[in-house]
Amino acid sequence: MTAPLRLGTRGSVLALAQSGHVAEALTAATGRPVELVEVVTAGDRSTAPVQRLGVGVFVSALRDALTAGEIDFAVHSYKDLPTAAAPGLHIAAVPPRQDPRDALIATGGRTLAELPPGARIGTGALRRIAQLHALGMQFEVTPIRGNIDTRLGRVLGPDADLDAVVLARAGLTRIGRADVITETLDPMLMLPAPAQGALAVECRADDHDLVELLALLDHAPSRAAVTAERALLATLEAGCSAPVAAYGELAEGETGEEIYLRGAVISPDGSRDLRLSRTGTPADAAEIGKALAAELLELGADSILGQEGHAGPGTQQLGSTE
């Protein structure tokens, strides 16, 4: 009997749901059994802001376990991965991406436009904090951290103290909580984080049989979009917690399939908001991201990124994968 493949995962509800989905898909495609192995990361053990802990805080322990041979492969929320490649490891698959947009969960079923000035909105991502300030709607943005249920409790629970929270729609969908969403935010208002909604399935590069096996889960359109978004992030030399947003969509163009990539860099207080777009072919995904980042840098994106430590009035930098 074939031994189960060991899939490393964080122990949060969302991480287990994501890993379970990948495990089921791999077994369905190959017949190979998969067992989940929980790995505790530094990000799980700490309550400190992610910006203080450093880029990759939720993935380093999983990668250490992979390198040590304690697990065979790992599933990451792709937006948590550092943009630099990990020596000896390989992203073998990017499964079909969930809806990458952000979602509002507000009291009384309200939309963003229905919230009054001074409404308290909770979020942990500096990118979201910056874009909420940029709307000019005079919200009080409250930094929060914790898993999805903890965040939802701040607006829906018996001890709720916020008018709304903003979370990734993909995460809510994966744990079966999409019903709490009161508005899916238009990317024109809230551009997603690079690679939001996408998963990265990673294994050791020299495990050629597993590389080939996991490739069955790869979704080329999702990989192309994420490649463009992360190339933009890497060229800006910004981390996953920086006020950088990107959204790549594939559509049929005049000469075939095209990537339409939108990118933004927003100052933490919302006073400067640089947004540009660029198109190209999926084969040139990385070059599209690099070129768009270069245009943003020409407009002064580097000076905005230098302000990361100042998140605007009444805010501080907090973050999480969820």
Residues catalogued as catalytic: 80
DSSP 65-118: HHHTTS-SEEEEEGGGS-SSPPTTEEEEE-PPPPP--EEEEEGGG--GGGSPTT
H or E element in which residue 123 lies = strand 120-123
34-38 and 102-106 beta bridge pairing = unpaired
Look up residue 7 and give its two tokens: 């899939």
Q: Which residue type is seen at 127?
A: R
Contacts of 119 (CB under 8 A, 6+ apart): 139, 140, 163, 164
Contacts of 177 (CB under 8 A, 6+ apart): 148, 152
Q: By CB neighbour count within 10 A (0-12 exposed, 13-18 middle, 19+ buried), where does 302 fall?
A: middle
Residue 64 φ/ψ, nearest 5 degrees: -65, -40
How crowded is the C-beta side of 261, counted as CA atoms within 13 Å?
Answer: 36
From the list 40, 56, 44, the residue with the least C-alpha distance to 8 is: 40
Cα–Cα distance, 187 to 55 (Å, whole number): 25
